[in-house]
């Protein structure tokens, strides 16, 4: 169960990102927030401290907290697709398929998707946009058992995962994420409107159904400054692990 102060922080963060509190605006007082969330003022202070540590809000001594900046934050606390996250944050997500083609699986794809030697995958390239701005290039290898469903989707499908659930009852239940940085190649630079060699935030992730059957192995590359990933941890729970070996796979 998510701690209450994390829920409060997420609520305030969402309000800031949605424009309810503009940059320079004052947040409600601790007592007002405590009343709204049915929480103690100490819990509210924890939530505010979390946002302050992120640089999202700040204050002068004796004054109410003010919004310092807005940024797009994608949390790993729950398993959400890009489109689901964008909708929850109040952004207009659009996308388009640039490429859909069957091919043989690479050794890494076969290992990640637990495929027999010689198996095929559906190779998909998509451009993802927020409010009309290109922010991410998505390269995905889909396991052959879900490939027909993905092939049937319209070129401007916003959420493949939502569409697969509606059309075929395919549900994402588990996700594993690897995050690093890579330079933009020629294709990514052109699609994201950045210079070749510019830094891109890369998120690779494996998604499986409730039975643990792999659905997709994806390589997402975000334009610098377009999104911030958020991971909350504690002494007892640390979902983020540094794994130098992952970079060599």
Neighbours of 142 (CB within 10 A): 27
Stretch 53-63: mean pLDDT: 64
pLDDT, position 117: 82
Quote the CA–CA distance of 176 and 169 in Å, as a whole number.
21
In this prediction, residue 157 has a pLDDT band, given cuts at 50, 70 and 90, of very high
What is the longest distance spanned by two Cα atoms in the chain? 67
Smallest CA-to-CA distance from 87 within 124, 131, 149 is with 131
Domains of the chain, CATH where assigned = 4-67 (1.10.10.10), 74-248 (3.40.1410.10)
Which one is predicted more confidently, 223 or 151? Answer: 151
At 162-198, the pLDDT tens digits run 899 999 999 887 777 888 999 999 999 999 999 999 9
At 87-129, the pLDDT tens digits run 666 678 899 999 999 999 999 999 999 999 889 999 999 999 9
Instruction: Name the DSSP letter for residue 88.
Output: H
> Which position has the token pair 């933009």?
184
Least confidently predicted of 67-71, 162-166, 224-228, 242-246: 242-246
At 134-156, the pLDDT tens digits run 999 999 999 999 999 999 999 99
């Amino acid at each position: 169960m998510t701690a209450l102060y994390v829920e409060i922080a997420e609520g305030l963060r969402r309000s800031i990102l949605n424009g309810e509190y503009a940059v320079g605006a004052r947040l409600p007082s601790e007592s007002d927030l405590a009343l709204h969330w049915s929480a103690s003022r100490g819990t509210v202070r924890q939530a505010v401290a979390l946002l302050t540590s992120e640089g999202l809000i700040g204050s002068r001594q004796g004054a109410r907290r003010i919004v310092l900046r807005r940024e797009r934050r994608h949390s790993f606390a729950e398993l959400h697709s890009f489109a689901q996250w964008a909708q929850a944050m109040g952004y207009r997500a659009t996308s388009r398929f640039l490429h859909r083609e069957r091919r043989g699986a690479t050794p890494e794809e076969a290992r990640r998707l637990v495929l027999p030697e010689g198996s095929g995958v559906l190779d998909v390239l998509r451009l993802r946009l927020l409010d009309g701005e290109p922010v991410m290039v998505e390269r995905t290898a889909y396991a052959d058992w879900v490939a027909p469903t993905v092939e049937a989707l319209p070129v401007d499908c916003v959420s493949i995962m939502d569409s697969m659930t509606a059309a075929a009852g395919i549900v994402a239940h588990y996700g594993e994420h690897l995050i690093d940085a890579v330079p933009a190649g020629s294709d990514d630079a052109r699609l994201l409107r950045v210079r070749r060699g510019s830094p891109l935030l890369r998120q690779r992730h494996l998604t499986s159904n409730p039975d643990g059957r792999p659905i997709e192995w994806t390589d997402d590359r975000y334009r610098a400054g377009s999104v911030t990933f958020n991971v909350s941890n504690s002494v007892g729970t640390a979902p983020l692990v540094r794994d130098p070996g992952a970079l060599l796979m």
